[in-house]
């Protein structure tokens, strides 16, 4: 039987800020559920919560943080700028901070490389105006008050390259938050990000709702062999791969077990790495408005 332990690992980001490897995801958690889940998480050794203005639950998350006995400086809070707010970054951040009842967030991300007034996008490439958005984040970061670190989400190699080479861009994102699990390992993107000292936060690490990973033979066999939950296999794999990982749950038992990880044997780690080629790649989250090709 594998030895499960509460995961206390932290990664040091390229600006020196430390981030706990395992955090709580909150997408599709209603505000009251997000409140309860965040509260349970903070009572059960989590020090990292991931939310976004688009999730509509920052108030619930903030309430749990404000009531928690865990000191603010020991909680890593991520929130994200929504697509329709690219032209008013500071206003959107202030609104998030107000809802979260916080003076600062630890990490502020551009949620998607999509800058638009409308959710109805026909040609995503017309809305990829994110350089100016990044410069607004950069300015707020350099002022040193409202954010400890800034990053991006759902960026491809080409988009990051364009961003890093743009005039006036001199802060490298600390993180690219992307969908990552054994059915979507994205080896080229991972290699690129590693070369730029940009960490990955693996979102939908369990394969999101109705996950094909919970039916995947390799995952189930490894879980059975090690006498652990399939989710624990996936979360342990993500950390062992040097990524930050943010499984979402609103259930107490799952919240508790998702932060307990173990070290996969070389053989099991390799088998999980190979699922992508055998059964994938499979993206579980495609909102339809993003351009993953460029
Ligand atoms: N940046 C982005 O664009 C982006 C996109 C997607 C997600 N995210 C972030 O990443 C987080 C995680 O991704 P996700 O919410 O898509 O999916 P996920 O964490 O991969 O999976 C969540 C699903 O798995 C279930 N689950 C949780 N723990 C489980 C366990 N131990 N055993 C069995 N089922 C379990 C959850 O149900 P219950 O809640 O009912 O337990 C839920 O249905 C999000 O919540 C969000 O914070 C970011």
pLDDT bucket at 62, cuts 50 / 70 / 90: very high
The two structure tokens encoding residue 20: 């706990």
Bridge partners (DSSP) of residue 19 are 11
Is 55 known to be catalytic? Answer: yes
Query: CATH assignment of 5-279?
Result: 3.20.20.100
Give per-residue pLDDT as tens, 245-289: 999 999 999 999 999 999 999 999 999 999 999 998 999 989 988
Give the closest residue (by CA) to ligand 1 atom 31. Answer: 254
Please list every protein residue whose CB sits less than 6 Å from any atom of ligand 1.
25-27, 50, 111, 153-154, 177, 203-209, 229, 231, 246-251, 254, 257-258, 285
- Whole-prediction pTM: 0.98
How far is the centre of ligand 1, averaged over its atoms, from the C-alpha of 151 (Å)?
A: 20
Mutate to test the pocket of ligand 1, among 22, 36, 208, 220 (most ligand atoms within 8 A of CB): 208
CA distance 87 to 117: 9
Domain ranges (residues) in the chain: 5-279
Give per-residue pLDDT as tens, 67-84: 999 999 999 999 999 999
Q: How far from the centroid of its chain's Cα atoms is residue 199's Cα?
A: 10
């Amino acid at each position: 039987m594998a030895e499960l332990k509460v995961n206390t690992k932290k990664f040091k980001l390229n600006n020196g800020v430390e981030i706990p490897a395992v955090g709580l995801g909150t997408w599709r958690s209603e505000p009251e559920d997000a409140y309860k889940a965040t509260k349970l998480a903070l009572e059960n050794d989590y020090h990292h919560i991931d939310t976004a203005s688009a999730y509509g639950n920052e108030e619930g998350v903030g309430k749990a943080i404000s009531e928690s006995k865990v000191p603010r400086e020991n909680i890593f809070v991520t929130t994200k700028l929504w697509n329709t707010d690219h032209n008013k970054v500071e206003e959107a951040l202030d609104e998030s901070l107000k809802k979260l009842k916080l003076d600062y967030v630890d990490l502020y991300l551009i949620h998607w490389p999509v800058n638009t007034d409308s959710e109805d996008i026909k040609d995503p490439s017309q809305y990829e105006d994110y350089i100016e958005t990044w410069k607004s984040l950069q300015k707020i970061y350099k002022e040193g008050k409202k954010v400890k670190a800034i990053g991006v989400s759902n960026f491809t190699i080409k988009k990051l390259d364009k961003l890093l080479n743009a005039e006036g861009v001199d802060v490298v994102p600390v993180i690219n938050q992307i969908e990552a699990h054994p059915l979507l390992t994205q080896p080229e993107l991972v290699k690129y990000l590693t070369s730029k000292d940009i960490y990955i936060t693996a979102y939908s690490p369990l394969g999101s709702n109705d996950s094909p990973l919970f039916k995947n033979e390799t995952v189930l066999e490894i879980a059975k062999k090690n006498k652990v939950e399939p989710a624990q296999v996936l979360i342990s794999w993500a950390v062992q791969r040097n990524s930050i990982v943010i499984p979402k749950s609103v259930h107490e038992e799952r919240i508790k077990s998702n932060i307990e990880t173990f070290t996969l044997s070389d053989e099991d780690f390799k088998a999980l790495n190979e699922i992508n080629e055998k059964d994938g790649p499979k993206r579980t989250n495609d909102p339809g408005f993003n351009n993953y090709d460029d």
